[in-house]
Amino acid sequence: MPVVGDRVRFASRKVDEAPREGVVTGVIGQLLRIKWSTGEESTVIPGPGAVAVIGKVKASSGKKATAPAKAAKATQSAKKAKQTAKESTKRSTR
């Protein structure tokens, strides 16, 4: 049974019809929520032999997710350094 994130191919229902491919976005019991390569979404209960798992969706690297956090942290550090420099200048001029 496919799990969330699996790339799947559904057999065609008619002769001369191409199989459909998509990504599993949700699983509840036997129900599969599929986002098709065309952009549409469907909830299906596949029959025996109707679905084949053809791969996994490539996971994005953690670097992209953490880059904004690192940038925000660097900005905060820069602000603290400026604040500290400003305070030390005030103290020395008094």
Report pLDDT digits (tens) over 32-75.
999 999 999 999 999 888 899 998 877 655 554 444 555 556 66
Q: Looking at this protein, which amino acid is placed at residue 92?
A: S
Q: What is the pLDDT of residue 64?
A: 47
Give the Cα separation of 61 and 55 in Å (integer): 18
In sign, the C-alpha dihedral spanning 22, 23, 28, 29 is positive
- Position 12 confidence tier, pLDDT thresholds 50, 70, 90: confident
Tokens at 56, concatenated: 């996994």
**Other Cβ atoms within 10 Å of 52 Cβ, number:** 15
pTM to 2 decimals? 0.58
Q: What is the pLDDT of residue 41?
A: 95
